[in-house]
Amino acid sequence: MREIIFDTETTGLDPQGGDRLVEIGCLEMVNRVTTGQSFHAYFNPERDMPAAAENVHGLSAAFLSDKPLFVERVGELLEFIGTSPLVAHNAGFDFGFVNAELAICGLEPLDRARMVDTVAMARVRHPGAKNSLDALCTRYGIDRSHRTKHGALLDAELLAQVYVELTGGRQIGLELAANQSDSLVTTVSTMVRERRFRPARSHAASAEELAAHADFMATIVSPLWGSQSETPHNPGGD
């Protein structure tokens, strides 16, 4: 099954209040395995960049000033995502911004039925725990040491690894697909671990252990196993 993992960066939190999309990163996955195909773009938001937002992703108005408008690359974006399910962390936020930009372009919004929200998945899997992308990377042992700022493509790459863990772990990539035989061989070879067998260990007590046991037993006064009468009980007697 083909899925698109994606993330966005914006000028703020509210597309209805004038905030705009400034970056999107998308990765293609087939049967929970990344294929190496991606789409990444920066956009000129045609407005200023609030300091709070720039502190999060590091994208300044000056950096974005010569980048294309969303409308100039929307065709490439829609072609890349196709009709595949769209996976994002707090997906409602990302869908809201993408759909706001599509509306500006006079295009139909993305169907929210395609939305797969990994925050909702994580809340079910880890109720009561922190479920930010950073927290999930830590929980699953995913290296994020190179993530000094938020970045749409980098965060999509991290989310792809988190998504695999949330949907059953790395063994799910072993699903057979006729057109992926070579990649599956590589996947299997890296996942299979050699089983090591140890020779059976003798469990018989040594002479020294038997002697130590006898010495210990001799120290027990009036043991329970010696308190019963030595006269055998006769069920049929008087």
Indicate the helix (H) or strand (E) that contains 70: helix 70-81
Q: Are 30 and 73 in contact (CB under 8 A)?
A: no
Cβ-Cβ contacts under 8 Å for 58 (sequence gap 6 or more): 149, 150, 151
From the list 40, 150, 203, 233, the catalytic residue is: 150
Distance CA 134, CA 143 (A): 10
Cβ-Cβ contacts under 8 Å for 99 (sequence gap 6 or more): 15, 109, 110
CA atoms in the 13 A half-sphere facing the CB of 215: 6
Residue 218 structure tokens: 């001799």
Distance CA 7, CA 1 (A): 20
Going by C-alpha positions, the residue among 138, 141, 165, 143 that lies closest to residue 154 is 143
Distance CA 47, CA 54 (A): 13
Distance CA 135, CA 119 (A): 11
Please say if 150 is a catalytic residue.
Answer: yes
Residue 56's Cα: distance from chain center in Å? 22
Residue numbers annotated as active site: 150
